[in-house]
Structure 1
Amino acid sequence: MPTRVLLVDDQPLIRSALRVLIADTDDLIVVGEAGTGAEAVDLVLRAAPDVVVMDIRMPGMDGIAATRRILDRPDPPHVLILTTFDDDEYVYDALRAGASGFLVKDMALDDILAAVRVVAAGDALLAPKVTRLLIERFVAAPGSSPSSPSPRLAGSVTDREREVLTLIGRGRSNTEISGDLHITVATVKAHVARLLTKLDARDRVQLVIIAYETGLVGPRAG
């Protein structure tokens, strides 16, 4: 069965470009389009998408509010945030709302399609540009980063898992973490799985947020 995709953007040209591109694939299908967050919330109920490609800046209900509403329902779809991002200040809020990925509109269309597939498979995805800006803005926000790691990590996370979590927070892939720590990719995946369980995190995006919130990534940690 093809992955069912709902396109949400207030610019018809963006929706059209994505729809045309998806029409050329065998594993993706567009089941609806929306120009506002409110329309997206309504369409999720009627169209039952697997993935929602969500713009942030829209009239009325924005993409963050819509994401919260959508993910607050039983068995929700995955939400992939797509924005111009040139001056957006919403990255952290969008991830906290539960988005599984965050991409920028200047990415190649094929890369956007690949991201839809990654998110549909249950993984999380952050464009490198997003990870860098997320770190910069989180660190710069007054009071946003504690001076020492949170007790949340004490007693539950091993030293090696803490190292892995720190690298995840810096936007490193499993392969890059494998090289940094001189361990196999399979071992990295095992550490990530244990972190998800121990920290009650839904996906890799939430691990990134935890790394910031607990002070593993910050002015001193990088």
Structure 2
Amino acid sequence: MIEDIPKEFFRSITFRYASQEDNIEVLVEMGLQPENSEEMLAFLRDRHKEDSLESLLDKPFEAKLQLIPQPTRFSDGTIRVFYSAPEVDTAEVEVRDLYLTHAFGNTREWRTVYYMSFSCDYAGDTKDLRPHVATLPCLIQDEEPGCPGCHRIAAEAVRDGLNGLLTPSARKPGGTCLPVFRREALSNPRKHEWVAFRFDPETGLVSPSTSS
């Protein structure tokens, strides 16, 4: 599907939001309520002061113990992908929409989830698919119709030894995403801030608030 697209060595800062599901379980056990966001964010910061920054880069490439592989846009569940974006606002929109779609579902209750925003350096062989949306519409289609095509693209990229792809964001018009397939293409991770994404059941919207 992408064999005729030339590869180039690409360098960039890229941004990602790391989920903190394990922390939320601890917070629930502590009896903290979602409205106590500042207390929760302070707890998360203190709990992770000694965390290895490299673990933020390692985690997406670690094997996951799942009975059934969980597919994502560029993985059928067997390919490890570090999803990121060269623009911080695109990274935020991507994770906000992902959480709204997959985590909140049809709930009619207020919900809050916490992510760590961070950046790192990317360098590696890359194919830029952004000019090829007309022939690769799966790149910006909704996940259900678009995923099979994106899975084939990712499998080809991994087979060819590519480090990553530049793709148009399916959730932010004009935005760019950078799915990365090889851990060695990433370095120099830098934490930025904790972000609480809150779902308002009355409006159906998710809004972020930050605490550095």
| TM-score, structure 1 normalization | 0.27
| TM-score, structure 2 normalization | 0.28
Which has a greater percent of helix? 1
Kindly indicate whether structure 1 or structure 2 has the higher relative contact order, using CA contacts under 8 Å at least 6 residues apart.
Answer: 2
Which has a greater percent of strand? 2
